C-alpha cells in the first residue's frame, strides 16, 4: 500500500490479517519518526500495538524477547525484506522503498567510470524497485550492465545486506567494476570489501560519487593489524549475540573447543546488543572473536582489544 501523506512506499509481505492481535512494532532509526502514524494506521484495523524503541540494526535483529514480555501475537518489522530468521512468534517484514531521482547523479557516475564497460549494479531493498531503470539508463550510455543473483539471506537479485554479498560474488568475474547505488557508507564499504574489483559508491541523497578504494585499503590494513596483534593472544572472549538472526551458539562452542585444544583459554560472552564500554571492562581477554554480525569488527576504534571474525580466528588457530 502507499502512504499518500508521505514520500515513501510500504510493501506488505504477508497476506492481510483477519484476526485482531497484539503487535510488537519494530522500526529502524530512519523510520522511527513515522512511528505514531504507523501505529494509528494499524490500530484503525483493530489491532493493539506496542512499539519497540530499541535500536533495530537489520532484519536479523528481531525483537523476540520484547515481544514475549509483551505477550505479542505478532512482530511487524518495517524497513527490511524477508529474512531467514527463527522466531517462535510470527514475523512480518514490511519493506521500505524510497523512489529517488537518479539521472543527474548517474550521469556523474558515467564520467567517473571512464573506460570501464562491464558494470555490476548492487543496492539495498530501499532502492531495489528502481534497479531495472538504473540498468536501462546506464545501458543507454553505452555500458554493459549486470545484476547478480542474490545470496541466501537477501531476497532480490542485486540486493546486498551487511551479511550477504551474493549479488556481488555472482558476477564478480564477469564485470570490470561495481556501482553501489544508495546512501551512507555501511553497504558501500561492505561491498568494496567483498570484491577485489573497483566499486563506485553513488549516493542519490548527497548526489555524490566516489571510489571506495581508499576506504577498502584502510579497512584491510586494520584487519591485518588486528590479526597480527592477536597471534600471541592467550585469552579469548567469544562474542555470541542472542539476536534471532545472529545467534550462533554452536559455532561459539566449536571455536572455544578449538582454541582450548590449541593451548589457549576461551570464554563465551553472551549479549543481545554489544556494548563496547562493557566489553572494554573485560580486561583479562587479549582478543575478542565475533560470531554475531560480521560488521561489528568495523567498530574496532571503540574496542581496546582486537576483534576478529570467525575466518580470521581460524587462521590464528592454524598458526
At 211, phi and psi to the nearest 5? -75, 140
Contact 237/289 with Cβ under 8 angstroms? yes
Residue 49 has a pLDDT of 96
Round to whole Å and give the CA distance between 112 and 119.
12
Which listed CATH number (3.40.50.11860, 2.40.50.140, 1.10.10.10, 3.40.190.10) goes with 223-318?
3.40.50.11860
Instruction: Report pLDDT for 319.
Output: 66
Encode pLDDT of 287-312 as tens digits.
999 999 888 877 777 899 999 988 88
Distance CA 218, CA 221 (A): 5
Q: pLDDT-derived band of residue 202, with 50, 70 and 90 as boundaries?
A: very high
Range with the poorest average pLDDT among 10-14, 119-123, 128-132, 229-233? 10-14
State residue 19's pLDDT score: 61
Please state the domain extents for the chain. 9-97, 103-211, 223-318
DSSP three-state, residue 9: strand
Q: What is the pLDDT of residues 105-121, one digit of tens each?
A: 999 999 999 999 999 99
Q: What is the pLDDT of residues 25-37, one digit of tens each?
A: 999 988 999 999 9
- Over residues 16-23, the mean pLDDT reads 70
For strands 48-51 and 74-78, give the pairing: unpaired
Mean model confidence pLDDT for the chain: 90
What count of other Cβ atoms lies within 10 Å of the Cβ of residue 9? Answer: 14
- Higher model confidence: residue 269 or residue 3? 269
Kindly report, residue by residue over 48-78, the tens digit of the pLDDT.
Answer: 999 999 999 889 999 999 999 999 999 999 9
pLDDT of 17 over the 60 cut: no
The reply to whether domains 9-97 and 103-211 share a CATH topology is: yes
What is the pLDDT, as a whole number, of residue 315? 81
**Percent of the chain residues topping a pLDDT of 70:** 94
Whole-number Å distance between alpha carbons of 295 and 139? 33
Question: For residue 88, what are the contacts with CB-CB under 8 A and spacing of at least 6?
Answer: 64, 68
pLDDT, residue 299, reads 76
Q: Does the structure show a pLDDT above 90 at 318?
A: no
Q: Are 58 and 107 in contact (CB under 8 A)?
A: no
Q: What is the CATH number of domain 9-97?
A: 3.40.50.11840
- pTM for this one? 0.84
Kindly report the backbone phi and psi dihedral angles of residue 52, in degrees, each rounded to the nearest multiple of 5, phi listed first. Answer: -80, 125
**CB count in 10 Å sphere of residue 165:** 23
pLDDT in tens, 1-16: 334 334 444 444 444 5
**Number of other CB atoms surrounding residue 185 within 10 Å:** 15
User: Is the Cα dihedral 256, 258, 259, 260 positive or negative?
Assistant: positive
With 50 as the cut, is the pLDDT of residue 182 above it?
yes
Residue carrying the nine cell digits 578449538: 258
CATH 3.40.50.11850 corresponds to the domain 103-211: yes
pLDDT value, residue 4: 36
User: Once rounded to an integer, what is the mean pLDDT over residues 249-271?
Assistant: 95
Contact 138, 145 (CB under 8 A): yes
| Residue whose grid cell is 484503525 | 44
Amino acid at each position: 500500500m502507499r502512504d499518500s501523506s508521505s514520500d515513501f512506499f510500504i510493501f506488505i509481505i504477508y497476506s492481510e490479517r483477519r484476526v485482531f492481535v497484539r503487535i510488537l512494532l519494530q522500526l529502524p532509526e530512519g523510520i522511527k519518526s513515522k512511528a505514531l502514524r504507523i501505529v494509528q494506521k494499524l490500530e484503525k484495523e483493530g489491532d493493539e500495538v506496542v512499539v519497540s524503541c530499541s535500536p533495530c540494526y537489520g532484519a536479523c535483529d528481531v525483537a523476540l524477547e520484547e515481544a514475549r514480555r509483551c505477550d505479542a501475537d505478532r512482530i511487524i518489522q518495517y524497513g527490511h525484506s524477508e529474512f531467514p530468521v527463527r522466531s517462535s512468534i510470527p514475523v512480518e517484514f514490511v519493506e521500505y522503498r524510497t523512489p529517488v531521482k537518479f539521472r543527474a547523479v548517474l550521469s556523474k557516475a558515467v564520467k567517473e567510470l571512464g573506460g570501464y564497460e562491464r558494470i555490476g549494479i548492487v543496492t539495498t531493498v530501499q532502492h531495489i524497485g528502481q534497479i531495472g531503470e538504473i540498468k536501462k539508463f546506464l545501458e543507454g550510455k553505452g555500458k554493459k550492465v549486470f545484476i547478480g543473483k542474490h545470496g541466501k539471506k537477501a531476497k532480490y537479485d542485486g540486493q546486498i545486506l551487511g551479511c550477504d554479498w551474493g549479488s556481488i560474488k555472482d558476477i564478480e568475474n564477469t564485470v570490470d567494476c561495481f556501482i553501489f547505488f544508495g546512501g551512507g557508507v555501511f553497504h558501500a564499504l561492505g561491498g568494496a570489501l567483498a570484491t577485489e574489483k573497483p566499486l563506485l559508491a553513488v549516493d542519490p541523497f548527497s548526489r555524490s560519487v566516489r571510489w571506495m578504494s581508499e576506504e577498502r585499503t584502510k579497512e584491510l590494513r586494520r584487519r591485518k593489524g588486528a590479526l597480527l596483534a592477536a597471534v600471541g593472544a592467550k585469552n579469548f572472549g567469544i562474542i555470541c549475540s542472542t539476536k534471532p538472526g545472529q545467534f550462533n551458539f554452536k559455532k561459539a562452542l566449536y571455536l572455544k573447543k578449538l582454541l582450548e585444544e590449541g593451548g589457549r583459554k576461551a570464554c563465551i560472552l553472551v549479549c543481545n546488543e554489544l556494548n563496547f564500554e562493557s566489553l572494554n571492562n573485560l580486561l583479562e581477554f587479549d582478543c575478542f572473536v565475533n560470531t554475531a554480525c560480521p560488521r561489528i569488527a568495523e567498530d574496532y576504534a571503540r574496542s581496546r582489544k582486537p576483534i576478529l571474525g570467525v575466518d580470521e580466528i581460524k587462521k590464528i588457530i592454524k598458526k
